[in-house]
C-alpha cells in the first residue's frame, strides 16, 4: 500500500511539473529519476558553501530533462535545444558540442596511504613511527619544487628535483620524529617530481582525488610543491574540495632543503603543525611567517623569503615568538558531507589591457577564440574596472561574446582594492555589455573559480555568471563589507563603516 501511494505521489509530481513547464517531455522513468535528482541536489545544495538564495530557488524548480540528455547522448524525447556560437546548450544548461578538455598528470594517483604495509620498498612512501595512538596523523604529498631540488650535473649543474630526497630528510628531522606533540607523518613522493611550472588542472585533480581517498584516515594534509603556481593550485583545490572540514596546507621554499641555510625546514614544520589544527577547515598556504587563505594568496616576490601575500585579507595567522591566530577570519566548519568536483573547463583567455592598445587585434583574437568554443574571457582593467570610453567597437564585441554564451569577467590590475562596476561612466558600459565583476578576487582565484564553475555541467551559463559574484570559499569580500568607492558620499561611507563593524 505504501509503495502504491509513493508511485501515485511521483506521478502527481511529474504531471504537475509537466503543467508548470511548457518544455517538459512526457513522464518517462528516466525523467522521473531526474526529478528525484534535481530535488536531492536542491536539498544538498542548502548545505553547500556555494549556494545563495537566488540560486537555491532556481535549483528547486523541477526541470524535465532526460538522463540521456544529461549524459550528452542524443535522445528522442523532443527536448528543444538552442545552438549558440560557442557551442550547444540544452535549455541553458552548460552543455557543449565539444567535451571539456581532459587534463592529465604526468604522475599517477597515490591511492590509499593510511596503512603502513602499503608502503613497499619500491615506493617512495614512509611512515614515521609514532608513540601511541593519541597522536594525530598528517599526510604529506610532494609533487616537487625548490624544496626537493639539488644541482644536477646532467643538466648543466642547474637545480632539479631529486627523487627520494624528501623521504630521507623527513626521517632525519628530530622535530618530527622525537617530539611527542608532533603528529604522525606519512609522506608520499609522486613520480616523477616536477617543477610547478609544469603543473596544471590534471595535477590539481590528482591531488584532490588523493585527498578524497585518504580523507577519513588523516587529520590534515600538507602539499609540497614549487612556488611559481602554488597560488593557482591552492585556489583550484579550494573550489574542488567542497565542504572541507580539515586543513589542507600548501608550502614550499625559496631555498632547497639540502642547503645549510634554508627556509624549507621551518616552512615544512609549521605547515605540519597547522595541518594538525582542529580549528582550520580550509585550504591555506604557509610561507615564511604567515598563514594565508589559499584562494586569497598571490606570489609577490621571487627573491625574498616572504614570497606570498594576501592583498585583500589579513593573514589567518602570524608567526613570531608565538603563533597569533586571527580566529575570526577562519572559515566556519562545513554543514554538509565532504565531496570533490575536479572537472575544470579551461577554454578561457586572460587579457591585460595597456594604454594605447590595438582594439582591432583584441577583437580579432576574441572572435577567433569564439570559433574554437571560447567559454570564458577575463579582462584585467584599470582601477575599479574601467575601459576607455571611446572603444565602442570593443565593448560591442564583448556584448556579442556574452550573448554567444561567453562569460566575461572584469578584474583590476591593482594589487589591492576591488572592481566597482558602474561607479564611473566607462565601467557602466561594461555592465550594459553583460560583463561580470570579480570584486576583490586575485587573478589566481578568478581564473580557477571560473574554470571550476564552467566545469560544473549542472549549472546554466546564467548561473555561472551569478555565482562568479558570490563568495563560495572566502575568495572575495561580500559587497556589503567592501569599502565605499572613491568620492562616495558621507552617507555611503557611514553605511559601509556600519556594515564592516557587524562583520565579526
Q: Contact, 137 vs 222, CB < 8 A?
A: no
Q: Contact, 295 vs 238, CB < 8 A?
A: yes
Residue 457 is given by DSSP the state T
Number of C-alpha atoms within 13 angstroms, CB side, residue 446? 28
How far apart CA 387 and CA 343 sit, in angstroms, is 32
Choose, from 51, 79, 90, 146, the residue flagged as catalytic.
146
How far apart CA 410 and CA 388 sit, in angstroms, is 14
Residue 439 corresponds to which cell in the numbers above? 570584486
Using the structure block, give the residue that is written with the C-alpha cell 557602466: 428
Crossing angle for the helix pair 425-432 and 392-403, to the nearest 10 degrees: 30
CA atoms 150, 153, 158, 160: torsion sign: negative
Alpha-carbon Rg for the chain, nearest whole angstrom, is 25
Catalytic residue check, 442: no
CA-to-CA dists, residue 323 to 136, 278, 279, 291, 320, angstroms:
19, 15, 14, 10, 6
How far apart CA 88 and CA 82 sit, in angstroms, is 6
Q: Give the active site residues.
A: 146
Amino acid at each position: 500500500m505504501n509503495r502504491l501511494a509513493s508511485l501515485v505521489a511521483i506521478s502527481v509530481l511529474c504531471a504537475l511539473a509537466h503543467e508548470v513547464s511548457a518544455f517538459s517531455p512526457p513522464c518517462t522513468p528516466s525523467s522521473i529519476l531526474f526529478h528525484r535528482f534535481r530535488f536531492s541536489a536542491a536539498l544538498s545544495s542548502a548545505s553547500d558553501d556555494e549556494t545563495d538564495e537566488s540560486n537555491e530557488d532556481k535549483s528547486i524548480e523541477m526541470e524535465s530533462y532526460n538522463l540521456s540528455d544529461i549524459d550528452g547522448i542524443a535522445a528522442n524525447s523532443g527536448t528543444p535545444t538552442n545552438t549558440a556560437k560557442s557551442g550547444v546548450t540544452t535549455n541553458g544548461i552548460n552543455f557543449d558540442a565539444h567535451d571539456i578538455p581532459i587534463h592529465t598528470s604526468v604522475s599517477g594517483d597515490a591511492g590509499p596511504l593510511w596503512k603502513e604495509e602499503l608502503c613497499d620498498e619500491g615506493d617512495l612512501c614512509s611512515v614515521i613511527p609514532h608513540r601511541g595512538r593519541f597522536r594525530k596523523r598528517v599526510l604529506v604529498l610532494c609533487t616537487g619544487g625548490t624544496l626537493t631540488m639539488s644541482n644536477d650535473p646532467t643538466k648543466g649543474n642547474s637545480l632539479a628535483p631529486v627523487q627520494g630526497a624528501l623521504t630521507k630528510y623527513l626521517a632525519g628531522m628530530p622535530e618530527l620524529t622525537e617530539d611527542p606533540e608532533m603528529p604522525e607523518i606519512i609522506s608520499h613522493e609522486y613520480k616523477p617530481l616536477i617543477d610547478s611550472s609544469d603543473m596544471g588542472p590534471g595535477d590539481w585533480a590528482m591531488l584532490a582525488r588523493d585527498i578524497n581517498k585518504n580523507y577519513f584516515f588523516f587529520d590534515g594534509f600538507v602539499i609540497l610543491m614549487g612556488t611559481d603556481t602554488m597560488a593557482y593550485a591552492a585556489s583550484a583545490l579550494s573550489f574542488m574540495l567542497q565542504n572541507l572540514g580539515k586543513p589542507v596546507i600548501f608550502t614550499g621554499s625559496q631555498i632547497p632543503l639540502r642547503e645549510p641555510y634554508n627556509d624549507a625546514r621551518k616552512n615544512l614544520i609549521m605547515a605540519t603543525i597547522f595541518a594538525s589544527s582542529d580549528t582550520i577547515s580550509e585550504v591555506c598556504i604557509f610561507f615564511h611567517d604567515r598563514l594565508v587563505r589559499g584562494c586569497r594568496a598571490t606570489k609577490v616576490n621571487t627573491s625574498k623569503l616572504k614570497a606570498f601575500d594576501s592583498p585583500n585579507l589579513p593573514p589567518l595567522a602570524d608567526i613570531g615568538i608565538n603563533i597569533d591566530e586571527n580566529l575570526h577570519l577562519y572559515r566556519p566548519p562545513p554543514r554538509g558531507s565532504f565531496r570533490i568536483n575536479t572537472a575544470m573547463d579551461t577554454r578561457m583567455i586572460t587579457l591585460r589591457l595597456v594604454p594605447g592598445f590595438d582594439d582591432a587585434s583584441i577583437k580579432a583574437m576574441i572572435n577567433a577564440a569564439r570559433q574554437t568554443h571560447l567559454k570564458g574571457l577575463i579582462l584585467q582593467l584599470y582601477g575599479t574596472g574601467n575601459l576607455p570610453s571611446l572603444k565602442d567597437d570593443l565593448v560591442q564585441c564583448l556584448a556579442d561574446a556574452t550573448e554567444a554564451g561567453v562569460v566575461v569577467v572584469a578584474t583590476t590590475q591593482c594589487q589591492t582594492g576591488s572592481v566597482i562596476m558602474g561607479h564611473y561612466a566607462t565601467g557602466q558600459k561594461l555592465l550594459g555589455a553583460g560583463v561580470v565583476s570579480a570584486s576583490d578576487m586575485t587573478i589566481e582565484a578568478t581564473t580557477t573559480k571560473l574554470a571550476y564553475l564552467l566545469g560544473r555541467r549542472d549549472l546554466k551559463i546564467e548561473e555561472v555568471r551569478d555565482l562568479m559574484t558570490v563568495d563560495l570559499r572566502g575568495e572575495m569580500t561580500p559587497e556589503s563589507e567592501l569599502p565605499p568607492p572613491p568620492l562616495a558620499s558621507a552617507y555611503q561611507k557611514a553605511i559601509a563603516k556600519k556594515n564592516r563593524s557587524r562583520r565579526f
